Amino acid sequence: MSVVEEHSITAFRQVPRTGVIFVTTEAQRLGFSAKNPDWCNLGQGQPETGELPGAPPRVHTIPVDVDDQEYAPVQGLPELREAIAALYNRLYRKGKRSQYGPENVSVSGGGRTSLTRAAAALGSINLGHFLPDYTAYEELLDIFKAFTPIPILLEGERGYAFSADDLRREVLGRGLSAVLLSNPCNPTGKVVQGKELERWVEVSRELDCTLLVDEFYSHYIWNSPPGVLPVESAARYVDDVNKDPVVVFDGLTKNWRYPGWRVTWTVGPRQVIDAVASAGSFLDGGGNKPVQRAAIPLLDEAFVVQETMALHKVFQEKRDRLLSGLLRLGIRADRVPDGTFYVWGNVSQLPAPINDGMGFFRAALEKKVITVPGEFFDVNPGKRRAARASRFRQYVRFSFGPTMATLETALSRLEQLVAEAMKAA
What pLDDT, on a 0 to 100 scale, did the predictor assign at position 34?
A: 87
> How many CB atoms are closer than 10 A to CB 64?
12
What pLDDT, on a 0 to 100 scale, did the predictor assign at position 225?
A: 86
- Residues 375-402 have a mean pLDDT of 90
Q: What is the pLDDT of residues 195-245, one digit of tens each?
A: 999 999 999 999 999 999 999 999 999 998 888 999 999 999 999 999 999
Say if residue 298's pLDDT is above 90.
Answer: yes
The percent of residues above 70 in pLDDT, for the chain, comes to 98
DSSP secondary structure letter of residue 369: E
What pLDDT, on a 0 to 100 scale, did the predictor assign at position 313?
A: 97
What pLDDT, on a 0 to 100 scale, did the predictor assign at position 384?
A: 79
Picking from 113, 283, 276, the residue whose alpha carbon sits closest to that of residue 210 is 276
Q: Can you tell me the distance from the alpha carbon of 377 to that of 134, in angstroms, rounded to the nearest whole number?
A: 6
For the chain, give the mean pLDDT. Answer: 95
Q: What is the pLDDT of residues 22-65, one digit of tens each?
A: 999 999 999 999 889 999 999 999 999 999 999 999 999 999 99
Higher pLDDT, 6 or 151: 151
- Residues 348-370 have a mean pLDDT of 97
- Residues 329-351 have a mean pLDDT of 97
Say if residue 3's pLDDT is above 60.
Answer: no
Global model pTM greater than 0.75: yes
Least confidently predicted of 179-183, 257-261, 308-312, 387-391: 387-391
Say if residue 17's pLDDT is above 80.
Answer: no
Q: Can you tell me the distance from the alpha carbon of 46 to that of 41, in angstroms, rounded to the nearest whole number?
A: 10
> How many CB atoms are closer than 10 A to CB 387?
6
- Residues 272-294 have a mean pLDDT of 95
Picking from 18, 29, 61, the residue whose alpha carbon sits closest to that of residue 294 is 61
What pLDDT, on a 0 to 100 scale, did the predictor assign at position 382?
A: 80
Could you tell me if 76 and 289 are in contact, meaning their C-beta atoms sit under 8 angstroms apart? no
What pLDDT, on a 0 to 100 scale, did the predictor assign at position 18?
A: 74
Q: Is the dihedral angle over the CA atoms 297, 112, 186, 274 positive or is it negative?
A: negative
What pLDDT, on a 0 to 100 scale, did the predictor assign at position 388?
A: 79
Could you tell me if 182 and 220 are in contact, meaning their C-beta atoms sit under 8 angstroms apart? no
Confidence class for position 6, pLDDT limits 50, 70, 90: low
Say if residue 5's pLDDT is above 90.
Answer: no
Least confidently predicted of 16-30, 82-96, 361-375: 16-30
Strands 372-373 and 395-399: antiparallel
What pLDDT, on a 0 to 100 scale, did the predictor assign at position 2?
A: 47
What pLDDT, on a 0 to 100 scale, did the predictor assign at position 381?
A: 87
User: ∠ at Cα 102 (287, 117), nearest 5°?
Assistant: 45
Picking from 325, 208, 332, the residue whose alpha carbon sits closest to that of residue 271 is 208
Q: Can you tell me the distance from the alpha carbon of 366 to that of 377, in angstroms, rounded to the nearest whole number?
A: 23
Confidence class for position 173, pLDDT limits 50, 70, 90: very high
Say if residue 348's pLDDT is above 50.
Answer: yes
Say if residue 66's pLDDT is above 80.
Answer: yes
Q: Can you tell me the distance from the alpha carbon of 251 to that of 215, in angstroms, rounded to the nearest whole number?
A: 9
Q: What is the pLDDT of residues 153-170, one digit of tens each?
A: 999 999 999 999 999 999
Say if residue 1's pLDDT is above 60.
Answer: no
The percent of residues above 90 in pLDDT, for the chain, comes to 89
Say if residue 14's pLDDT is above 80.
Answer: no
Q: What is the pLDDT of residues 182-203, one digit of tens each?
A: 999 999 999 999 999 999 999 9
**Residues 326-346 as b or e (16 or more Cβ within 10 Å = b):** beebbbebbbebbbbbbbbbb
| H helix or E strand, kind and range, residue 402 | none
